Structure formats: structure tokens, C-alpha cells
Structure 1
Amino acid sequence: MIRKTGAEVRLEGIGKRYGQVQAVKPLDLVIEGGTLVTLLGPSGCGKTTLLRMIAGLEQATDGRLFIGGRDVTLLPAGERNVSMVFQSYALFPHMSVLDNVAYGLVSSGMRRRDAHARAEAALETVGLKGFGTRLPSEMSGGQQQRVAVARALVLEPDVLLFDEPLSNLDARLRRSMREEIRALQQRLGLTVVYVTHDQSEALAVSDRIVVMRNAEIAQAGTPEELYTRPSSVFVATFMGEANRVPGTIESVTGSTAQVAIGGVRVGLPDRGLQPGPADVVIRPEAIRIMPVDAPDTLPATVARATYMGSHTEYLFATEVGELFAVGPQRLSRHREGDQVRLGLDLEGVVLVAP
């Protein structure tokens, strides 16, 4: 298939109400052409409703929606030139793989021979060359997912939409499929909007992530921005394991805040906060087990140590509360009840708004 630059998607004050229920509060969002943007959030946050509004499967009650500069707010799904890959794959069980992929083209009036030629090319794009004569029931879950992607690609959409596409697959297959989807998106220059509640999936595939909460955008940015500089405790904890502890901003000089975390004092970016009580987020990988005489460390007791093969997971009891940490030690592990000192890698420690 020919590489092309995907279309920009622009949402201006887009919102959705069901009676008195605000499923998506009016919001603005720009998805640049040729990028993969993930809508991430817990169930009921509005991410799937937002995706369905882009697809034309739901009618927006507020705002305007543009695809490739064209106002499609009032257009039905069939006139928007978008394709959607559903969680259930939605393949016709009585049709061959080739007929499943060609179905949209044949339905739109294309000659069957031409549609099959396009479908064969789409199957080759997703690594299923030669599988066209099989039935969906003769394919694995991962292969069925590829068929669903091929069926969407064959229509040459301006925007490709994914709704929880990997939730029916096992963990190992999810990992390989998300890598394939990302590679395909980059190779073809597609604009992709991807919905998931799995933060590791979002981190792995996205150019940008839009974290949603309570029907609105909590924060949008690159995976690195959201993980290392979350704007709130919610975003910090949703973007991976995170320890939330109380701290005190003692002073701010320039853009650096001197922060007390128990008996430890550290300098952190102030994030616009003023002296006084503050929330501090500490990533598990930022916690270091230190020698008992190490300065500027937190005294801690090992409350739990769980062997995980390649690493050990710890739960420490400290003066600022329980801390979850990941230790690389495999052979010389600490045991429950051990007294240790904990140091902090500042790259994984951040001040956040409550």
C-alpha cells in the first residue's frame, strides 16, 4: 500500500450529552496528521464516546469537528472517510478472510475482482499474504485482529480508529500486536486515534497521550511528559505505579523548590507551587536501597518482599507512609523485617497538584 500523510483531526468545543448526563464535556483537541494519539483513562471517562464522535457513530451535541480541514460535524459515518477497528473484530464468520477484507469495497460498488486485488494487498501489508481463503474461525486471535486492521486499511481512510483493539488477547500477544500496529502506522503515515485503559499499551504506541477523567481532558502530552511531569496525582498514578507521599515546600528559589520528605530534603522543579504542604509522587524505580549509614535517606522497614524472577518488589514502611519499590537484586534480596535506608533518584520524584 502507498504511504501517505494522514489527515489532521481538529475538535473545537466538542461535547456530548445524553439528557442531563454529560458524557464528554466540551473540549478542544488537535491530532496532527500522521501521528498516533491515544485516549487513555478509566471506564466511564468519555474516551470511547469521543472516539465514536470522531467516527460519526455518535452525534456531537456541542462544538465542531474537522478532518483534513473539512467540517464533518453533521456528516454521517459513511461520508467521513474514517475506518474503525473494534474490540470484538466484528468479522463475518461465514465469509473467507479475503471476502471480509473486501466487503466494504464491494458494498460501495467496486467490482469484486478489483476489490479482491486491493484486499490481497491489504492482507500483505499486515503480514497475512496467502491467508485469504481461510475462515475467521481458522485464525488465531492475533491473526483475526490483523484481518480487522486490513479491512480498515483497504478503504484507505484519512483517519484510522482503534477501540480497545488488544483487550481480547493474552499478554504476550498484546505486546507483539501493539508493536505491529505502531510499525504499520509509522510506515504508512496514518493518522490513528487509539483508545485504551492500559497505560503500558499507551506508552508503547503513542506519539501523544490524552488522559481523560470525568468526561474531560486531565492532561495531554508525549508519553515522557506525562510519565515524568504529571500535572496531578490522578495522572501520575494512572500513568504507572506511583507512591503519593506528603511533603513540605520549605522555600522556592528561581524554579527550584526545597522540599522536605520526612527527614530528607531534596531540590525539585517547583511546578508553580508555593511554600507549604504539597503532594510528592515517587516512582517505584526511583527508590534506592542504601547502606545503613548513608546520609539524606529515609529509614525504612521491609514490610513485604516479593520475588518476581528478574527483580524483587518491595513494600517499605517509612515515616511518610508505605512505599512500593522495585529492586534489581535477585540473589541478595532483603527479607521481611529488615531495617534499611532509602535514597531517592530525583528523576523519578515530582511535585504535583492535589
Structure 2
Amino acid sequence: MKRTGAELRLQKLGKRYGAVQAVKPLELTIAGGTLTTLLGPSGCGKTTLLRMIAGLEQASEGRIFIGDRDVTLLSAGERNVSMVFQSYALFPHMSVLDNVAYGLISSGLRKRDAHARAETALDTVGLKGFGTRLPSEMSGGQQQRVAVARALVLEPDILLFDEPLSNLDTRLRRTMREEIRALQQRLGLTVVYVTHDQSEALAVSDQIVVMRNAEIAQFGSPHELYARPDNVFVATFMGEANHVQGRIEQIHDEVAEVSIASLRIKLPHRGLPAGPVDLVIRPEAIWIGADGGIPARVARETYMGSHTEYYLETSLGTLFCVSPDRLRRHQAGEAVSVTFDPEGVVAVRS
């Protein structure tokens, strides 16, 4: 039965270790029943933020609200949140069923009732009939599902994931992220999900919080962050991007006429003034032609099956380009020219 998870509100929440500010005071509201990813490089504060929500770290300042409850000073066990760890943390000597039921039994529920709820949770994650096995008899993907079932059986207001797929191979990661997303949507859970993998964040999220230097760099939907990044860091962190210098020559209403080397294109100016401007160009927005664009030389080409990747030497610097044209492949050393699809060029703050 689908239910809507609780809203999560962080008010001026921060964490300090001595003189080190691990998380600068931040404001964030996560709507109930949505999946929000905390994304960023190592050391940006995303895991510390997750652990504060879980109650595993005490906030140095600010408040945490789950629904209408202020849980800032409550212990992890009093918050009604569940966490799926990177290591899964399954008890190797216990059966899968006992692993899933452990939290319920520890909280005082009768073993028979706990096992009945654990069976339902295993069915929910596609592991019906696996309860008698040991974790060592399960594949990595199956162990990950057991960890999710153990978290779900507690019926948490918030479900937290800390790099849950990092121990899986590439193909299984793709399958499991789709399963987590489908489960979250089917049950209406509120999920906070930590990863450093951009493609994983784009695939599973309703909203993404990009973190940098212990603070929020940008918060928005996957499409907003990819198509309309606020700054160079977000643009280059959310997928591949070429960072070049251009110039805003004229502004008419919301549109700017921008020069990029010898080309002129029209873009939303996004509040930036006339003059020099930072631009990010997505690899798929670079078109390779014979003439009429910026002169370029193919430095390297890599055939990837469904597309070809190119590194092009230009007056703007080296540009990374992705071409879906499998019939016409350009060779290293070949002279070409490039133009840009305005849809994949964004003016940003540095």
C-alpha cells in the first residue's frame, strides 16, 4: 500500500569538528514522498549531513524536523529513520529472515510477528522464499536488497542510503538503481541518497543537492542542474562539460548575443552583464563539419559503438565532443571545423 513519506526540513543546520567546519549552516526542505540525492566530491560534507539526519552525528547548530517533529536532540533510535550502509552490515551468522527481523525483535516485537513482517519486506524487494539463506549464500545485489528490506520493515519516515551501490559492478549498479527508484515511487517513501556518481544521481533523483566545500552549490531537479547550472563547478560536475571563455556582445530582453571565437550565437543571458563570460558547452552540443565554423584538428578519436568520442584542438583550447554519426568517423590529425547547438551552451558564473 502506497503511503507518503514525511517532509524533512533542515534549518541552519551545521556541523563543526573543532576549527573544521564539516557542514556550513544550510537550509533545505525535502518534500515527502520524494528521492533527493546529496551529490559531491569526497570531503564536501554530504555524508556528514546524512549522518546528522540519521542521528549518528550531533548537529553543532540548527534544527532538524521530520514532519512536524523537532528531532534535533533525539537519538537515532527515536527518529524513525532507517539507513542502508555502503557495506550492508548484515550479520553473517544469521539467516536472511533473522537479519531483516532483527530491528523489530530488538524493539520488543514478538518473534513470530517480526518474521511475518520480515517476509512481507523480502517479498517487497523481490526476495520471497530467500529467508532461510545466509548472507554468504547471496550475491552482492541480493545482499543489497536484504539491507533495503531490513530498513523498510521498520516503516521509517525517512529512508537513508549511504553510497549503497559502490560495491557492485557497473551492470548491476544500473539494475539496482532502477529497482531502488521503482521501490521508492511505488511505496511513496521519502529517501535521502548519498553518492558521488553523477549518472546515478541523474537516474534516481527527483531533486539533487550538489555540495561543495561543506555547503550547497545548487539544489534542483536533474534537468535544471544539467541544463541550467548556476556556476562552472556545478556544470562540470553534472556530467561532461567544456569550459570556455566567450563574450556577451549585446543584450535584448532575456537574450544575449554571445561571441565564441569567430562564432556568434544567441543564449539566455541569465542576469549576466555584457562583457567577458564563462560558458559551458556539453559534448553533444558540438557539431563537427567541414567548414563554416571554428577551425579544429582531431587530436584523438575513440570508437564507443553507439557513438564516437573526439578531442578537438581549437583556439578555445581542447574540446571534448560526442558524435552519434557512426558512418562518418573523423581520423586523428584531420582538419575539421566546429559549430555549437545553442541548446547545449550555457552562460554561467565562474
TM bin, normalised by shorter chain, reads: over 0.9
- Other-structure match for 1:307: 303
Task: For residue 271 of structure 1, report the CA deviation from its aligned partner.
Answer: 1.1
- Other-structure match for 2:184: 185
- Other-structure match for 1:249: 248
**3-state SS of 1:101 partner:** helix
Which whole-Å deviations, capped at 9, do the CAs of 1:210-260 have from their partners, x for residues lacking one?
000000000000000000000000000000000000101111111111111
- Other-structure match for 1:218: 217
Distance in 2 separating the partners of 1:245 and 1:337: 22
Distance in 2 separating the partners of 1:14 and 1:188: 28
Which whole-Å deviations, capped at 9, do the CAs of 1:162-196 have from their partners, x for residues lacking one?
00000000000000000000000000000000000
With normalisation by structure 2, the TM-score equals: 0.99
Tell me which amino acid in the other structure corresponds to 1:273. Answer: L
**3-state SS of 1:73 partner:** coil
Alignment of 1:113-128 (within 5 A): 113-128=112-127
Tell me which amino acid in the other structure corresponds to 2:206. Answer: D
- Other-structure match for 1:196: 195
Distance in 1 separating the partners of 2:238 and 2:133: 40
Which whole-Å deviations, capped at 9, do the CAs of 1:275-307 have from their partners, x for residues lacking one?
111111000001111232x3xx21111011111
Asked whether 1:76 is paired with 2:75, we answer yes
Distance in 1 separating the partners of 2:84 and 2:58: 19
Which whole-Å deviations, capped at 9, do the CAs of 1:100-133 have from their partners, x for residues lacking one?
0000000001000000000000000000000000
Tell me which amino acid in the other structure corresponds to 1:186. Answer: Q
- Other-structure match for 2:283: 284
Tell me which amino acid in the other structure corresponds to 2:156. Answer: P
Which whole-Å deviations, capped at 9, do the CAs of 1:56-114 have from their partners, x for residues lacking one?
00000110110011000000000000000000000000000000000000000100000
Task: Please say which of residues 271-280 and 79-88 is displaced more in the overlay.
Answer: 271-280
Distance in 2 separating the partners of 1:51 and 1:225: 23
Task: For residue 341 of structure 1, report the CA deviation from its aligned partner.
Answer: 1.5
Distance in 2 separating the partners of 1:118 and 1:183: 21
Distance in 2 separating the partners of 1:33 and 1:130: 32
**3-state SS of 1:113 partner:** helix
Q: Pick one of 334, 346, 349 that aligns with 1:350.
A: 346
Query: What is the total number of aligned residue pairs between the two structures?
Result: 350
Tell me which amino acid in the other structure corresponds to 2:332. Answer: E
- Other-structure match for 2:238: 239
- Two-structure CA RMSD over aligned residues (Å): 0.7
Asked whether 1:12 is paired with 2:11, we answer yes
Asked whether 1:159 is paired with 2:158, we answer yes
Tell me which amino acid in the other structure corresponds to 2:154. Answer: L
Tell me which amino acid in the other structure corresponds to 1:15. Answer: G
Task: For residue 19 of structure 1, report the CA deviation from its aligned partner.
Answer: 0.5
Distance in 2 separating the partners of 1:247 and 1:62: 42
Which whole-Å deviations, capped at 9, do the CAs of 1:35-74 have from their partners, x for residues lacking one?
0000000000000000000000000011011001100000
The percent of aligned pairs where both chains have the same amino acid is: 76
Distance in 1 separating the partners of 2:68 and 2:32: 11
Asked whether 1:319 is paired with 2:315, we answer yes
Task: For residue 308 of structure 1, report the CA deviation from its aligned partner.
Answer: 1.2
Task: For residue 337 of structure 1, report the CA deviation from its aligned partner.
Answer: 1.1
- Other-structure match for 1:334: 330
Task: Please say which of residues 328-337 and 344-353 is displaced more in the overlay.
Answer: 328-337
Which whole-Å deviations, capped at 9, do the CAs of 1:127-152 have from their partners, x for residues lacking one?
00000000000000000000000000
Distance in 1 separating the partners of 2:178 and 2:342: 30
Distance in 1 separating the partners of 2:167 and 2:344: 33
**3-state SS of 2:347 partner:** strand
Structure 2 portions without partners, runs of 5+: none
Task: For residue 331 of structure 1, report the CA deviation from its aligned partner.
Answer: 3.5
- Other-structure match for 1:174: 173
Distance in 2 separating the partners of 1:264 and 1:290: 14
- Other-structure match for 2:25: 26
**3-state SS of 1:51 partner:** helix
Which whole-Å deviations, capped at 9, do the CAs of 1:195-219 have from their partners, x for residues lacking one?
0000000000000000000000000
- Other-structure match for 2:268: 269
Distance in 1 separating the partners of 2:300 and 2:309: 8
Tell me which amino acid in the other structure corresponds to 1:140. Answer: S
Distance in 2 separating the partners of 1:260 and 1:288: 17
Task: For residue 315 of structure 1, report the CA deviation from its aligned partner.
Answer: 0.3
